[in-house]
Amino acid sequence: MDNLQLFSKKIRYYTLKELYCMGFGHYGGSLSIVETLAVLYGDKMNVSAATKNDPNRDYFVLSKGHAGPSLYATLFLKGYFEEDWLYTLNKNGTNLPSHPDRNKIPGVDMTTGSLGQGISAATGIALGNRFAERDNYTYCIVGDGELNEGQCWEAIQMAAHHQLNKLIVFVDDNKMQLDGPTSDISRTFDFVEKFKAFGFESERVDGASIEEISAAVERAKKSTEKPVAIVLDTIKGQGIPFIEQMDNNHHLRPDEETKEAVRLAIEELEKEIEVAL
């Protein structure tokens, strides 16, 4: 197992542990971005706990803020805070509310949770970095359902207008939103074609493939005039088969039987990580 595969396994393991400990939470959308977080924080992004306030670092905005638990697992693994924080997820007095809070959490660049606003902030951050003549990248993850929000398309249009080639947006196209398939609720049509029509470079990759995501980021970094949208073909609940197969895994409050299945999945991941080390 290579380093990024192992890193993604650890992110998935700690994400499940956090949610298991809390007793409920956003399982589906946290799990579908694990491989992307592994590629970004394990390889592509110029970030570290030691340089968290350096304005020349890369920036990251989790626009689909309800996936906070997998970002927190990643930031813990990168040394931004201690493990015990993870098990206070969403509890009274916690530093880790269910959605990212930049005033509480080291390594979080933007407070998110109100869908549509994160991608707008990411566009502003990328524009600010351009004005400051910085050479850094701004990365953002939006959800497919989130892209129903009109505000997203204002930001996308503005990013293209300003030729923000150092803005790289990932669309977590897991085809599901809060209460059903995105295609039933408000059809998104072809994201790649839509982003291209708005003035972005865009391509679709397998969002479970670390190799494909890595290669897409490398191609994105070659863009000289256009921002880039990488559309991730993902599965809501990705990597945990019994969760993938649920009709609705957006927010789970597991009963005893499901809790036991989550516990076994955590145990399984722990074994796989031990074998790989």
Q: At its nearest, how many Å lie between ligand TPP and the CB of residue 178?
A: 4
Pick the stretch among 75-83, 85-93, 124-132, 170-178 that binds ligand TPP (CB under 6 A).
170-178
Looking at residues 43 to 82 of the shown chain, list those that interact with ligand TPP (rule: CB under 6 A): 64, 66
Candidate residues 35, 58, 101, 172; the one interacting with ligand TPP per rule CB under 6 A = 172
Instruction: State the binding string over 134-163 for ligand TPP (x if CB under 6 A, else -).
Output: ---------xxxx-----------------
C-alpha–C-alpha distance, residues 202 and 146, integer Å: 18
Candidate residues 176, 230, 231, 265; the one interacting with ligand TPP per rule CB under 6 A = 176
Candidate residues 106, 113, 124, 199; the one interacting with ligand TPP per rule CB under 6 A = 113
Instruction: State the binding string over 243-262 for ligand TPP (x if CB under 6 A, else -).
Output: -------x------------
What's the one-letter identity of residue 170?
F
Check binding of 145 to Mg ion (CB under 5 A).
Answer: yes
Q: Are 71 and 86 within 8 A, CB to CB? A: no
Beta pairing class for 180-181 and 201-206: unpaired
Q: Which does 194 bind (CB under 5 to 8 A by kind): ligand TPP, Mg ion, none?
A: none
Check binding of 28 to Mg ion (CB under 5 A).
Answer: no
Given the rule CB under 6 A, which residues bind ligand TPP?
A: 28-29, 32, 64, 66, 113-116, 143-146, 172, 174, 176-178, 236, 250
